[in-house]
Amino acid sequence: MAAYGGETHERIPAHVAIIMDGNGRWAKKRLLPRSAGHRAGVKRMVKLAEHAFDSGVKVLTLYALSVENLHRPQEELQGLFSLIREYFSGDTEKIAARGVALRVIGEIGLLPEDVARLIEEGIKKGGDGSGGTLVFAIAYGARQEIVRAVNRAVAAGKEVTEAQFCEFLDTAGLPDPDLLIRTGRERRLSNFLLFQSAYTEFYFSDKLFPDFSNRDLDAAFASYAARERRFGRIK
């Protein structure tokens, strides 16, 4: 990929990251409980992931739960944990059958033990990576991730280069995101991939996540394809 010098780049971003926001408002608009919005969000997420890999995306990172989300009311959290349990107990099979490897970033140790275990078991049942990599950010916070990485570097006992530091991040071995999409009208990162998104292209959609269709993803790809990435350089 010709990434530098303002040259053309691949039309389809290799690594797409999505902040899946707006489930609660989607449910509220329909006078449904927030949990119904999260359930609709998972359904949409499954379809979007298939479409992304069909389109040629190599890595898809999905922000499913932030560390800060763990301060939401117990009732909502229990609903979210149930959805995570359901998803990782079987729904991963279809995407794994397409050769998509599964991975998680974040501190899943902060989750109830059985939820963390189901995630770990589900991840192991992922594909060999020939079809891409699906990364779930669960109990994830970028600042916390950076601090963890710093502590790992300190424990290693020597100064690190930028490349070596990246290996201490939860995203070790993954390329930086090329395109970061946030649904749900907000224009902020909410503690997502702060280090990795230094030169990422941003795309904000006003659609609430359960309404963000495969066509909306195509529109994000089209927007990305029309951009010139300069990485601080000039032509």
- Please identify every residue annotated as catalytic: 21, 69
In the complex with Mg ion, the residue whose CB is nearer, 59 or 84, is 84
Q: How far is the CB of 61 from ligand IPE (least distance, A)?
A: 11
The amino acid that residue 109 corresponds to is: G
Q: How far is the CB of 114 from Mg ion (least distance, A)?
A: 26
Q: Count CA atoms within 13 Å of residue 2 on its CB side.
A: 8
Selection from Mg ion, ligand IPE, none that 23 binds (CB < 5 to 8 A by kind) is: ligand IPE
21 binds Mg ion (CB under 5 A): yes
Residue 65 touches which of ligand IPE, Mg ion, none (Cβ within 5-8 Å per kind): ligand IPE
Which one, 62 or 123, has the nearer CB to Mg ion? Answer: 62
Rounded to a whole number of angstroms, the CA Rg of the chain reads 18
**SS3 call for 169:** coil
Closer to ligand IPE by CB, 80 or 180: give it.
80
DSSP 27-64: HHHTT--HHHHHHHHHHHHHHHHHHHHHHT-SEEEEEE
Q: Which is nearer to ligand IPE, 110 or 153 (CB)?
A: 110
Cα(86)–Cα(5) distance, rounded to whole angstroms? 46
Closest to Mg ion by CB, 72 vs 148, is 72
The window from 14-22, 95-103, 195-203, 226-234 that contacts Mg ion (CB under 5 A) reads: 14-22
CB of 62 to Mg ion, least distance (A): 14
Least distance in angstroms from the C-beta of 103 to ligand IPE: 17
212 and 225 Cβ atoms separated by less than 8 Å: no
Sheet holding 59-66, edge to edge: 100-105, 132-140, 59-66, 15-19, 179-182, 201-204
Residue that has been written with the tokens 């949990």 in this structure: 35
**Site track for Mg ion across 83-102, x = CB under 5 A:** --------------------
Residue 66 contact partner, candidates ligand IPE, Mg ion, none, CB within 5 to 8 A by sort of partner: ligand IPE
Residue number closest to ligand IPE, CB atom:
24
Output the smallest distance, CB 160 to ligand IPE, in A. Answer: 29
* Main-chain dihedrals φ then ψ at residue 32, nearest 5 degrees: -105, 160
Binding site for ligand IPE (CB under 6 A): 19-25, 63-66, 69, 80, 184, 186, 188, 190
Q: How far apart are CA 216 and CA 3, in angstroms?
A: 25
How far apart (Å, rounded) are the C-alpha atoms in residues 210 and 227?
A: 27
Give residues in contact with Mg ion (CB under 5 A): 21
